[in-house]
């Protein structure tokens, strides 16, 4: 019984290898016909390559992470609430303009 299973698996492997060989031969035949047609008509034959720019995927996600410019409605709403419209928020003025915080002296540990 063990011998029969091994023979069946061997035959299945041979069928799989033969089907893979047929697929490769068909692909080579299609490419050959395409190449011959290109030579016959005088048009350049471009190879089958990936036709996308891999950087475009990274750019799409990087641009999605960056906030877009605020619209006019966003600006009007922010000004009505007294908030900053700029991104990132910039502090205007100097440090001495802060009135609700008093600086504390640094005491040495010990």
pLDDT value for 10 = 97
Instruction: State phi, psi for 56 to the nearest 5 degrees.
Output: -65, -35
Interval 74-90: pLDDT, tens: 788 888 887 776 655 55
pTM of the model: 0.41
pLDDT value for 88 = 52
């Amino acid at each position: 019984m063990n011998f029969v299973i091994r023979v069946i698996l061997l035959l299945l492997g041979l069928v799989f290898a033969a089907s893979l060989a047929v697929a490769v031969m068909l692909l080579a035949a299609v490419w050959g016909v395409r190449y011959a047609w290109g030579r016959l008509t005088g048009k350049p034959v471009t190879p089958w390559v990936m036709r996308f720019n891999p950087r475009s995927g990274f750019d799409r996600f990087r641009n999605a992470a960056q906030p877009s410019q605020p619209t006019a409605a966003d600006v009007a709403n922010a000004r009505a609430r007294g908030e900053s419209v700029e991104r990132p928020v910039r502090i205007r003025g100097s440090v001495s303009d802060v009135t609700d915080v008093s600086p504390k002296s640094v005491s040495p540990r010990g």
